[in-house]
Each structure stands twice: as structure tokens, then as C-alpha cells.
Structure 1
Amino acid sequence: MREETIRVWDLPTRLFHWGLAACVIGSLVTINLGGNAVAWHFRFGYAILTLLIFRLAWGFVGPRYARFASFPPNPMAALRYLRGPVQGALGHSPLGALSVYALLLSLGFQACTGLFANDAIMWDGPLRNTVSNATSDWLTSLHKTNRYVLLGLIALHLGAIAYYTLFKRKPLVRPMITGDALPPPGRSRARASGDGLRERSLASLLLAASSGIVWAVIELLP
């Protein structure tokens, strides 16, 4: 008999996830291409900042498994999860939660420092002129250094996905595409995540507000 799945990831969370991945890839490709492609690096950065602001709000008002309260950062719980065996969890595991927070913080730092960065040739962040030359150069160095931190976190994230898929036989990509996953043992009556018109309408409003905030920052503050 086929086991029944449960809705874990709502559509806005899934679109955020894949949209963020696409923007990160785009920003990395365009900065390495250089030249006029750097203009697109900035655009991808603005999109990343918009998505991060949306996710911050969604973490408080979104559906059950999208809320930060459902996966608080807990290093001790992550250690217990590594030692195993522990009861499976819907949504992010304790270890996965730490990975999510690390990625969000690193991406947020990268996007914010990029607003003030310069390449000493022709490209400046939109808020470059709001700080001194020394401060802009310092933030630029942090922006460049954090890129390697971010790449390391992405590599760990992809490695964990591969490990769980190949060795634990626990698919992590498919649920982020379909939104549905098999409940872990003992959680057959777990509550599904909300994913209807109400949630999607609220997400649309939050995304529009997030876009407005980023637009105001890059157009009105300089």
C-alpha cells in the first residue's frame, strides 16, 4: 500500500528556495564574467536582498514549517541528531536548521556589504557615496572574503543533500519541488502546512513590500 504524503513546504517557501538558488548562481557567474556583466551582478544582489527580507517576514507569519519557531537554532539538538538515532522531523532537522541560518546570515551579510562596495575601477554599490572611502574599501574586503565563506556553506549544503539522498535514502530535493514528504515514523498524524489562497496572497503582499524596501534603499537613500 502506498504511503500518504503530507504537505510540508508551501508554494511561497518553495519559490523562495529556488529563486534564491537561481539568483546566487547568477550573481556568481556574472561577477566572474566581469565587464558589463557586473551590472547583472548588482541586479541579482538586489533580488537576493528582496528574497531575504521576504523570508525574514515569512519566518514569522508564514505557515507552520516555514516559521523560525519550528526550527530554532539549537547546537545541542544538532549534536544529538548527528549521534542518532533520533526521531525524524518534518521540515528542517536540527542540523538542517543550523545550515539554513548560516546560509541566510552569510547571504544577508553579502548582500548588505555589496551595497557599499566598490571595485576601484568603474562599479560602485548604490550606497557607496554614503560612507567614506576607507569604510567602502573595508566593506569591499569583507564582501570578497565572505564570498568564500558562502561558497563553503553552499558546498556543505549540497554535500548534505547528496549524503542523505545516496546513503540515508531520504530525498530532500523532491519535497522542495512538490511540497509533499512522507511523515517520519510515529508522525503519521502530523499537521500539514497551510498552502492555500490565504498564504499565497499574504506571500505576494510581503514580496511586493520587500521589493519596495529594496527599491527605496537603492533609489532614495543615496
Structure 2
Amino acid sequence: MPKDLLMPVRIWDLPTRLFHWTLVACVLGSVISAKLGGNALVWHMRLGYAVLALVAFRIVWGLVGGRWSRFSSFVYSPAALVRYLRGRAHADDHFEVGHNPLGAYAVLAMLAWLLLQVGSGLIADDEIASTGPLIRFVSGEVSLAWTAYHKSYGQWGLFVLVGLHVAAIAFYRLRHRNDLIGPMFSGDKLLPHAVPAARDSLATRLFALTLLGACAAAVYLLIGLETV
């Protein structure tokens, strides 16, 4: 469709965009610090706490955030997924606006996997110098089992999900000429018809900042249980 027939619509509010890129940086830093080992493990743990706070924020924001950031806008039924795969979308499906069904399930899988990975890290023990802050709440056997998961299945599962995410971005860009990266920077998508825009006002952004602060405080209190 000619670009002069498209109109920019705010799809991704600023809190969602900042969450996305901050999470990318924290996950990347966490992986690098884990590979470096030694003193870098202190940063591995700090970045893990940051990831936990960010994921907690995204879950809450998925309930009260901008229209297209809410889970209700992109958690599709199995029937909608089948329509998408068959290329028989209904007019009110809006697959091209926010996340399509495959992208939606990928987002949910990533959030769930990150929660499990960080959670296993909270009770992990490398048997050298680092232990998770909640290790005293589980037995040594449970801790060692989840430590093994954290270093193997959890880590490689995360790599697979990230790889699939990058591959999907490349596929939609090369096959469908659909840029998924640009809108996550600008917030806007060029769409062929009018759709409701996401709320992205100063008040909304301050509200999101308050929620993020609350999530960070909750994580701080959680890891503080180590000394209680």
C-alpha cells in the first residue's frame, strides 16, 4: 500500500519501549557477566534482580498500561492463532497492529522463562563463592538441582527463545517488509486504517515510573530476606 495512504499511530507507549530495551541490556549483561565469572558474578546477580523487577513491572503494565501493551489486546485464542496461520484474519483481529498471535505467545513464553530463570538463580549455589539470596529457604538438594537447571536448561532455553525472537524479526523484515524494530524505538506504526492509539501522556509515564519503583522496592525487600 502507498505510504501516503498510511497513518502513524502510537502503538508502543514509552514505558513499554524503555522496558523492552532495558530488559535487552540487562539480559545481555547478565549473560556476559556469567561467562566472565569471578568478580563479575556480583553484577550477574545485580542484573538478575533488575530483570526480576522489570518482568514484574511488565506483568503489571500488561494489566494497566497502554492499550496495545495490555495482555488483553494480544493474548489470542487458539482459533485466532489458526486464522493467523491460515491467513484468514477477521477484520477485528488487528494482527498487524501490536503483537500477532505468534509474537504474543513468544512474549508470554519469554516473560515466563525469565521468571523461572531468575527464580532458580535466587536459590542457586555455585559451591565456590556465590549463593542466591533465598538459598536458606530451601534444602541443599533442592538448591543444587535448581542450580543445575539455571546453568543448563534454563540458560540454553533462554538462548533459544532469544534466537527465535531475532529470527522472527529478520523474517518479517525480509519476507513481509514489516519493520518490527523501528516502532519499538519511535512508538508509532504506519497503519492502513485508523485504530485506537495507546495512551502515552506525561501522567501515564509518571504512573509507570511509580509502578516500576514499587516493583524495584518489592525485589529489594525480597532479596533482603537473606538477612532477616
**TM-score bracket, shorter-length normalisation:** over 0.9
1:79 to partner: Cα distance? 3.3
Contact 1:75–1:98 (CA<8 Å) still a contact in 2? no
CA contact (8 A) 1:73 1:101 kept: no
- Verify the 8 A CA contact 1:31 1:38 in the aligned structure 2: yes
Q: Give the match for residue 153 of structure 1.
A: 161
Please list the CA deviations of residues 57-81 of structure 1 after superposition, one character each: whole Å capped at 9, or x if unmatched.
1011111011110011534422331
Counterpart of 2:221 in structure 1 is 216
- Could you report, residue by residue, the CA deviation over 1:119-178 in whole angstroms, capped at 9, with x for unpaired residues? 111110111122111111111122221111111011000000000011110000000000
For the residue of structure 2 that corresponds to 1:172, the secondary structure is coil
Cross-structure match for 1:5: 8
Q: For 2:7, what is the secondary structure of its paired residue? A: coil
Partner of 2:181: 173
Superposition deviation, residue 82 in structure 1: 2.3
Q: 1:182 aligns to what SS in structure 2?
A: strand
What pairs up with 1:38-53 in 2 under 5 angstroms? 38-53=41-56
Q: Which amino acid aligns with 1:154?
A: V
- Say which of 104, 112, 117 aligns to 1:97: 104
1:24 aligns with 2:31: no
CA distance in 2, matches of 1:79, 1:43: 41
SS at match of 1:5: strand
Question: Contact (CA 8 Å) 2:26, 2:50: kept in 1 or not?
Answer: yes
2:21 and 2:81 map into 1 onto residues whose CA distance is: 25
AA aligned opposite 1:150: L
Residue identity over aligned pairs, in percent, reads 46
Q: Which residue of 1 aligns with 2:197?
A: 192
Structure 1: tracts of 5 or more residues without a match: none
Report the AA paired with residue 32 of structure 2: V
Q: Output the aligned Cα RMSD.
A: 1.4
Q: Does 1:108 align with 2:111?
A: no
In structure 2, list runs of 5 or more residues that go unmatched: none
2:205 aligned partner, one-letter code: R
Aligned partner (choices 115, 126, 140) of residue 119 of structure 1: 126
TM-score, reference length from structure 1: 0.94
* Paired residues of 2:136 and 2:226 also in contact (CA < 8 A): no
Q: CA deviation at 1:113?
A: 1.0
CA distance in structure 2 between the partners assigned to 1:75 and 1:191 by the alignment: 24
**Of 128, 131, 142, which residue of structure 1 is paired with 2:135?**
128
Deviation at 1:221, TM superposition (A): 4.7
Distance 1:150 1:79 in 2: 26
Q: CA–CA distance in 2 between the matches of 1:120 and 1:31?
A: 15
Q: Give the whole-Å Cα distance in 1 for the aligned partners of 2:211 and 2:149.
A: 30
| 3-state SS of paired residue (1:193) | coil
Distance 2:15 2:42 in 1: 27
| Number of equivalences | 219
